[in-house]
Chains A and B, each alone.
Chain A
Amino acid sequence: MHNFSVLLKGEMQRLLRYKILQISFVVTLLWLGVLFLIGSEHVGDFVPLFIFMDVSMMTVLLVGANLFFEKQENTLKTLLITPSDFFALIASKFVASLYLGLQSTVFIALFALFMFDVSIAFVWLMMFVLLITFAHTALGFTFTVYVKDFNGLLAFIIFYMFIFAFPSIFYALGILPSSAEVWLMFSPTHASLLMIDFAFGVSVSWWLLVIGSVYLVLLSLFLIRFVVSPKYVETAVRE
């Protein structure tokens, strides 16, 4: 992990300078505004959904935006010719992304707690949010190394949402049988939603949580090892 702390400090400095931190904060404020308008009667249903949106789709978008800035400025390449470990390079970007996910979750959760007295299992929430953000950071990297520009990334995200969100919607509407839920855990969207719901007091079988957690970890590690690592260098070196 040679140079990890320097790289992480650089990532955090750039999150601020490229206004990614500020954009993330503004989006969080928007979620808080919408929650305020929804009011106490339904707020419990929406808080998990907003946290999910923030730590999944927003993470993919922000990771993509960050990488596109770097791709545009050729800085991905120049970092590869430093003595830094490649793993430290990737890890610094993941940790910066985890920070963004945690920051918005903490704001939304505290707002829900103090404004509407929503009951939250904080430790579970933070653990699951870390897992979900980690997996969606890996997905964000994966999407970005395969597309040419930001529009391509948006198209990829929309495609991804259709593929993984519809089965969950069909399940919620009763179109899919309850026995299908174990298979739905292999959708990052469904697994993430269920894990966040659990932290907000929804009853979820422990084995579904285990399957979801293990799956997200394995998916992330698979993407980092077999997609992000080889394609990152290729993306960085391509001019």
Chain B
Amino acid sequence: MKNKVFEVKDLRFRYAKSNVEAVCGISFDVYEGEIFGLLGPSGAGKSTTQKIMTKLFRDYQGEILYYGKDLKTYSNAYYEDLGVGFELPVHFSKLTGLENMKFFSQLYKQRANIETLLDQVGLLEDKDRMVGEYSKGMKMRLNFVRALLNNPKILFLDEVTNGLDPKNARIIKDLIRAFKADGGTVFLTTHLMNDVEELCDRVAFIREGEIVEIATPRALKIKHGNREVRVEYFSNGKTEEAVYDLDGIGENEAFLKLIKDKEIETIHSGETSLDDIFIKVTKAKSDA
């Protein structure tokens, strides 16, 4: 059994000028070496939860244990373990990429090789350019480098591929997987299901401050999908479709005859996509 990095118990948080709780008694665990995704629509409480776990918001109710010890008892040395990739660029625009990274790096005891990191995200050639001249995608890649500067144990990533083209998004996702392979733990908040599908070991869906589902992506797909097999085949000069129960499919004569006799174009099981699950489980209570 893997160690629990975080144990979040009955976490509640209310913004100062609000009558309603932004986070309403959520509980979950994050295990060492896993990529845990907290998913939900804008305003559901994902970023608030992340800000509480990164100690930016400290006035919460409930309990968060970090390696078994109350998070509130940790000093700022806690940040030596953490790398945080924000949703928006967080750099001094009138300093170069390298100057920005050098400045932030000096604030930590553990320091990664900045040039290696810049090279990994394809920014080494632009290291001496002012960040103000960077494109949004370049700034987001620099955000990721910023998160890795202190060789963290845990990465908090908020919409990490936001604004990146597919090629650069792939680079970042590969680096996240490499971080995990080295034993790192990742807490990912996003509404991009493609990222979740590729990266997350477990996901929690949050709606209006409450967790409504928590499982592996595969388990969720099976739970919310239909137990059926959909076959598209070519017959009489056109594409036709047939649907069969998944249960007992190996003994279903009609299905077996179809795949033996017809020219099959596609076969799909009825598992649903994470996009569909997202829409279904995060639908507002008032719309449900």
Footprint of B on A, CB under 8 Å? 2-3, 6-7, 10, 13-14, 17-18, 73-75, 77-86, 233-234, 236-237, 239
Interface residue ranges of B209-235 to A (CB < 8 Å): none
Q: Which residues of B contact A81 (CB under 8 A)?
A: 54-56, 79, 82, 84
Q: Could you tell me the distance in whole angstroms from the C-beta of B202 to the nearest C-beta in chain A?
A: 24
Query: Would you list 12 pairs from A and B whose C-beta atoms are within 8 A, ordered by A residue?
Result: A3-B107, A13-B95, A14-B94, A14-B95, A17-B92, A74-B89, A75-B91, A81-B84, A83-B80, A84-B107, A236-B56, A239-B88
Interface residue ranges of B72-123 to A (CB < 8 Å): 76-80, 82, 84, 86, 88-95, 99, 103-104, 106-109
Q: Could you tell me the distance in whole angstroms from the C-beta of A106 to the nearest C-beta in chain B?
A: 26
Docked pose: A14 CA to B80 CA in angstroms? 24
Pairwise interchain contact A74-B90, C-beta atoms closer than 8 A: yes
Pairwise interchain contact B104-A17, C-beta atoms closer than 8 A: no
Q: Could you tell me the distance in whole angstroms from the C-beta of A207 to the nearest C-beta in chain B?
A: 42
Q: Kindly report which residue of chain B lies nearest to residue A86, judged by CB atoms.
A: B76
B57 beta carbon closer than 8 Å to chain A: yes
Q: Which residues of A contact B54 (CB under 8 A)?
A: 81
Partner of B84, one of A14, A78, A85, A236: A78
Q: Could you tell me the distance in whole angstroms from the C-beta of B159 to the nearest C-beta in chain A?
A: 12
B146 beta carbon closer than 8 Å to chain A: yes
Docked pose: A86 CA to B78 CA in angstroms? 14
Interface of A is mostly: helix
Pairwise interchain contact A83-B107, C-beta atoms closer than 8 A: yes
Q: Could you tell me the distance in whole angstroms from the C-beta of B57 to the nearest C-beta in chain A?
A: 7
Docked pose: A7 CA to B76 CA in angstroms? 15
Number of A-B contacts (CB under 8 A): 70
Docked pose: A84 CA to B93 CA in angstroms? 22
Q: Kindly report which residue of chain A lies nearest to residue B107, judged by CB atoms.
A: A82
B262 beta carbon closer than 8 Å to chain A: no
Return the 9 tightest CB-CB contacts between A and B, nearest first.
Answer: A78-B90, A17-B94, A82-B107, A74-B90, A6-B106, A83-B79, A83-B76, A10-B103, A81-B84
Q: Which residues of B contact A7 (CB under 8 A)?
A: 107
Pairwise interchain contact B51-A237, C-beta atoms closer than 8 A: yes
Q: Could you tell me the distance in whole angstroms from the C-beta of A182 to the nearest C-beta in chain B?
A: 38
Q: Which residues of B contact A237 (CB under 8 A)?
A: 51, 56-57
Docked pose: A3 CA to B150 CA in angstroms? 15
Partner of A75, one of B77, B78, B92, B108: B92
Docked pose: A239 CA to B95 CA in angstroms? 22
Docked pose: A237 CA to B90 CA in angstroms? 12
Pairwise interchain contact B104-A78, C-beta atoms closer than 8 A: yes
Q: Which residues of B contact A73 (CB under 8 A)?
A: 89-93
Highest count of chain A CB atoms <10 Å: which of B89, B99, B106? B106
Pairwise interchain contact A84-B76, C-beta atoms closer than 8 A: yes
Partner of B92, one of A6, A14, A77: A14
Q: Kindly report which residue of chain B lies nearest to residue A70, judged by CB atoms.
A: B92
Q: Which residues of A contact B91 (CB under 8 A)?
A: 73, 75
Pairwise interchain contact A85-B94, C-beta atoms closer than 8 A: no
Q: Which residues of B contact A10 (CB under 8 A)?
A: 103
Q: Which residues of A contact B109 (CB under 8 A)?
A: 83
Pairwise interchain contact A83-B86, C-beta atoms closer than 8 A: no
Docked pose: A161 CA to B167 CA in angstroms? 55
Q: Which residues of A contact B95 (CB under 8 A)?
A: 13-14, 17
Docked pose: A179 CA to B168 CA in angstroms? 72
Partner of B108, one of A78, A83, A86: A83
Encode B42-71 as 1/0 by CB contact (under 8 A) with A: 000000000100111100000000000000
Q: Could you tell me the distance in whole angstroms from the C-beta of A85 to the nearest C-beta in chain B?
A: 7
Q: Kindly report which residue of chain A lies nearest to residue B16, judged by CB atoms.
A: A234
Pairwise interchain contact A78-B146, C-beta atoms closer than 8 A: yes
Q: Could you tell me the distance in whole angstroms from the C-beta of A18 to the nearest C-beta in chain B?
A: 5
Q: Kindly report which residue of chain A lies nearest to residue B109, judged by CB atoms.
A: A83
Q: Which residues of A contact B103 (CB under 8 A)?
A: 6, 10, 13
Docked pose: A129 CA to B54 CA in angstroms? 39
Q: Which residues of A contact B92 (CB under 8 A)?
A: 14, 17, 73, 75
Q: Which residues of B contact A78 (CB under 8 A)?
A: 84, 86, 90, 104, 146
Q: Could you tell me the distance in whole angstroms from the C-beta of B146 to the nearest C-beta in chain A?
A: 7
Q: Which residues of A contact B94 (CB under 8 A)?
A: 14, 17-18
Docked pose: A237 CA to B16 CA in angstroms? 13
Pairwise interchain contact A77-B56, C-beta atoms closer than 8 A: yes
Q: Known interface pairs A81-B79, A83-B77. Does A74 touch B107 (Cβ–Cβ under 8 Å)?
A: no
